[in-house]
Structure 1
Amino acid sequence: MNKRDLVKKQIGKGAMQCFEKFGLDKTTLEDIAQTVGLNKASLYYYYKNKEDIFVETALREGEDYILALQEKAQQRKGIENQVSYYMQARFNYYKKVLNMNRVSTDTLNKILPRFFELYDALMSREKLFLSELIRQAVAKGELAQANPAQIASVLINISDALKHSAEQKAILKRDPGIDYARSLQDMKLLVSLIFRGLKK
């Protein structure tokens, strides 16, 4: 890791402490600079604003979480249990990150474009992981012949669409919080229906 990456990691760690303490909306660049031991001008060398720090750091932490989650999912018995556990845990993780940092719907609307820009690479790795789980289940005879890559893509895309639908509704209604309960129920049903159709 080069010096720039090390400093960005340090800024991210300090920023997340501030976001947890004050919430993303109320945290200032001055707060982050003080926590990290840099001056505010130095932060601008690395990031345009606090929202960029949040998105980049949340996704970096998310990558670590997803890797650990993939190991846990593989320890479950049966393909449906593995996929269901994985999909619910990743959904809850993203929900927790936004709630933990008390992101308002206005700020969420502002950060989503940057989030999607950086999220693509992680999403591709998630689809590969699920695709491999499904491919192994087909090879073991647990599932009927299927297209693992297509099923993995549907699972991730619909899960994200359900999550983003809840976020967009909150943004449009200007609700202070986001209720993900219905989206999570719909995602559980989706996993169940897919595997009911694939089981031999």
Structure 2
Amino acid sequence: MTTLAKDEVIKSDILDEAAKLFRHYGLQKTTMEDIAKAVGKGKSTLYYYYKNKEEIFDAVIRKEKNMMFRNIQDAVSREESAVKKLEAFTRSKMREIRRMTTLYQVVASEIKACNELEVSIRRNYDCTETEILKSILHYGVITGEFPNYDQQELETLAFLLANAQRGVETALIMDQKLEEIGEMMDVLVTVLMNGIKKS
């Protein structure tokens, strides 16, 4: 095994074990010593790869988010129409949030203490999500399902759609009503596609 491959295996082990600890104890109560013990390495090994637990937490969140977006992209790519792609986006995102919910709650409740980390994670997440939605909307314009929006309008719509969904998700997660996410997202997509006025 090359040194690079070995380093990647060790880093992956660190992130996997750290994720379990963050889920169970939260960011503030988890120490570098806890993570080192869980991985079966000395603290010096952790410090070789990461400056502190916040950097490990950042890497854990990025890894989880990357997996989440890969799964969402897979679900979206399997659908033929833009409307079905939007539905696939919201449903697969809902499944991923359920899978990640404990870690999501840790992020929501504790990351405020690390403002620079919060901004970095949020910006990365927001950009990726908005880009996926923009590509779905653009696809809908090409197929004729949606009006002929220009680039600026597509960016505005993607931004509004991402933030509308995020607002619903956050409210339901904070109120511990995760089981209602699917139903709420279906209503949101229906309203976005058809409006709320009587036809």
TM-score, reference length from structure 2: 0.72
Aligned partner of 1:174 in structure 2 is none
- Do the aligned residues in 2 keep the contact of 1:23 with 1:101 (CA within 8 Å)? no
Q: Percent identity?
A: 20
Equivalent residue number for residue 68 of structure 2: 65
Output the CA distance in 2 between the equivalents of 1:194 and 1:112.
33
Q: Which residue of the partner structure matches residue 158 of structure 1?
A: 164
Cα gap change, 1:118 to 1:105, in 2 (>3 Å):
closer
5+ residue gaps in structure 1? Answer: 171-177
Report what 2:39 is aligned to: 36
Q: Note the C-alpha offset of 1:57.
A: 1.0
- C-alpha separation between the residues in 2 aligned to 1:77 and 1:23? 43
- In 2, Cα distance between equivalents of 1:124 and 1:138: 21
Residue 168 of structure 2 aligns to a residue in which SS? helix
Deviations 1:91-123 (A, max 9, x none): 331342132688497546657873442231232
Please say if 1:193 is aligned against 2:199.
no
Residues 185, 47 of structure 1: alpha-carbon distance in 2 compared, 3 angstrom cutoff: farther
In structure 1, the partner of 2:141 is 138
Q: Displacement of 1:33 after TM fit?
A: 0.2
Unmatched segments (≥5 aa) in structure 2: none
- 1:88 offset after TM fit, Å? 2.5
Determine which of 10, 15, 18 is the counterpart of 2:18. Answer: 15
TM normalised by structure 1 equals: 0.71
Q: How many residues align?
A: 187
Say if 1:56 and 1:33 are closer, same or farther in 2 by CA, change over 3 A.
same
Choose the corresponding residue for 2:82, options 79, 84, 95. Answer: 79
Question: 1:90-109 residue pairs with structure 2 within 5 A?
Answer: 90-99=93-102, 103=106, 106-107=109-110
SS of residue matched to 2:163: helix
**2:52 maps to which residue?**
48
* Cα RMSD, aligned residues only: 3.5
Distance 1:70 1:85 in 2: 9
Change (3 A) 1:77 1:154: same
Relative contact order higher in (CA < 8 Å, ≥ 6 apart)? 1
CA contact (8 A) 1:91 1:159 kept: no
> Structure 1 residues 85 and 153, CA, compared in 2 at 3 Å: closer, same or farther?
same
